[in-house]
Amino acid sequence: MGDPVSEPQTKIRTWRYRDWSIPKDDTLCFDAITKDAELIPEVIKHCRNPHLAIQAGGNVGVYATCLSAKFHQVLTWEPSPENFLCLRENTTCADYTFDNIFAYALS
Each residue's pLDDT, cut to its tens digit, for the chain (107 residues) gives: 445 545 558 888 888 888 999 999 988 999 999 999 999 989 888 988 888 888 888 899 999 888 888 888 888 888 888 998 898 888 886 466 566 667 677 76
- Model pTM? 0.80
Q: Over the chain, what HEC string results?
A: CCCCCCCCCEEEEEECCEEEEEECCCCCHHHHHHHHHCCHHHHHCCCCCCCEEEEECCCCCHHHHHHHCCCCEEEEECCCHHHHHHHHHHCECCCCECCCEECCCCC
